[in-house]
Amino acid sequence: GQQVMQIPQYQHVQEGEDFTTYCNSSTTLSNIQWYKQRPGGHPVFLIQLVKSGEVKKQKRLTFQFGEAKKNSSLHITATQTTDVGTYFCAGDSGGSNYKLTFGKGTLLTVNP
């Protein structure tokens, strides 16, 4: 079945440093979504990428979708303590069941 691999598993940075998490799917995706889960909370939708090579920005967050629609990345510029949490990518392979396959997530901690 479809697999979504995400690295790194953990990342600890000093406040102000940049952060990047990477996602790779074993199959071509219809779209990829990114979620953030704060400690003790539930996943919150950040963004959806649909087009090959797509790049989207949300303030300090930059999301990319690879040309082959099999990989993606999330980059945070100048991290802040509010960025702490686990970032998950989730791949949608298309089809009528709308099923997402989640990566294992990257836990980001930020040292003030």
Partner 1 sequence: GAVVSQHPSRVICKSGTSVKIECRSLDFQATTMFWYRQFPKQSLMLMATSNEGSKATYEQGVEKDKFLINHASLTLSTLTVTSAHPEDSSFYICSASDYRLNYGYTFGSGTRLTVV
Q: Which residues bind partner 1 (CB under 8 A)?
A: 33, 35, 41-45, 47-48, 88, 90, 97-105, 107
In angstroms, rounded to a whole number, what is the distance separating the alpha carbons of residues 30 and 108? 27
CB of 98 to partner 1, least distance (A): 6
Nearer to partner 1, 35 or 65 (CB): 35
CB of 16 to partner 1, least distance (A): 26
CB of 61 to partner 1, least distance (A): 15
Three-class SS state of 78: coil
Nearer to partner 1, 16 or 41 (CB): 41
- The residues near 42 (Cβ < 8 Å, ≥ 6 apart) are none
Helix and strand numbers, DSSP H then E, in the chain: 0, 11
In angstroms, rounded to a whole number, what is the distance separating the alpha carbons of residues 7 and 23? 7
Nearer to partner 1, 66 or 103 (CB): 103
**Contact present, 69 and 52 (Cβ < 8 Å):** yes
CB of 78 to partner 1, least distance (A): 25
Nearer to partner 1, 55 or 78 (CB): 55
